Amino acid sequence: MVVKKIVISLFALCLFALSLQAQEPAPPAAAQTDQNAPAQPGKRLFGVIPNYRTVDASVPFSRLSAKQKLNIARHDSFDWPNYVFAGVLTFATPSSKDQSASYGGGLEGFANRYVRSTADQITGNMLTEGFMPIVLHQDPRYFRPGTGTFKSRLGSALSQIVVARRDSGRRTLNASEWLGNAMAVGISNTYSPNLNSWSARTQKWMLMISTDTFSNVMKEFGPDVKERLLPHRHKSQPRN
């Protein structure tokens, strides 16, 4: 019954996405640039963490179409590392007494919590990176400065949770992030019996936003860490 609810919820989101995409006018040719390509093969931090929505902040801004926004959300939602991350998160998060009573113990309880955790991730990503940016005409990408002081770059990573760009390029409140995750919690409430109070729902909402904030920090500094830990091999390879 719970799995059925999850499938129906995700199917309804997909239908909504298709209706929005059908109504979206074709973007001008100038917008079809490499900067806007949301799904480049192998675009992951350390070869694992999905990094499809990161772009260079120094590149001139160009709007995304509805299809491109949905592609970003789709890749961030259904890329295989997300299922591994959901399993790790489920395993690392201790089960409360209420959860044990609702979901069961042992392997059954783990499977029940894993299904819900995976569904929460997919729903949250699709809403904050796809559907809400389309409806609100906002850009879901992370604009990475890549240069400057540590403080300025950290400030940029944190501020982009609160401030987003509109399709026009102007900055505005990142309603897609906050409303999208709030809607995801509401959907999760239909199949998660542990979200039986406003306190539990608020805690879930803040956890989802905190996870996205940490993701921004990883997107900003991850390439630098990789560069230091894994220098280019061709520099050390001897010539023939």
**Structural domain contains residue 40:** no
**Structural domain contains residue 120:** yes
* Beta-bridge mates of residue 54: 142
Q: Average pLDDT of the chain?
A: 79
82-91: long-range contacts, CB 8 A cutoff, minimum separation 24: 82/50, 82/118, 82/121, 82/122, 83/118, 85/121, 86/114, 86/117, 86/118, 86/121, 87/114, 89/117, 90/114, 90/117
CA distances from 68 to 28, 34, 44, 155, 217 (A): 13, 12, 18, 27, 23
Q: What is the pLDDT of residue 76?
A: 87
**Structural domain contains residue 160:** yes
**Structural domain contains residue 237:** no
- Mean pLDDT within 86-114: 71
**Structural domain contains residue 130:** yes
Q: Please tell me the pTM assigned to this model.
A: 0.74
User: How many folded domains does the chain comprise?
Assistant: 1
**pLDDT tens digits, residue range 106-154?**
777 788 888 888 999 899 999 999 999 999 999 999 999 999 999 999 9
Q: What is the pLDDT of residue 212?
A: 93
Q: What is the pLDDT of residue 31?
A: 38
Kindly state the tokens that stand for 173. 């409140």
Residue 130 is which amino acid? Answer: G
**pLDDT tens digits, residue range 16-57?**
444 444 444 444 433 344 444 433 334 767 666 778 889 999
Instruction: Determine the 3-state secondary structure of 231 from DSSP.
Output: coil
**Structural domain contains residue 34:** no
* CA nearest neighbour of 63 among 3, 119, 140: 140
Kindly state the tokens that stand for 16. 């909504």
**Structural domain contains residue 44:** no
What range defines the domain where residue 181 resides? 2-8+63-229
**Structural domain contains residue 58:** no
With a cut of 50, say whether residue 195 has pLDDT above it: yes
Most confident of 20-24, 139-143, 220-224, 228-232: 139-143
Q: What is the pLDDT of residue 164?
A: 97
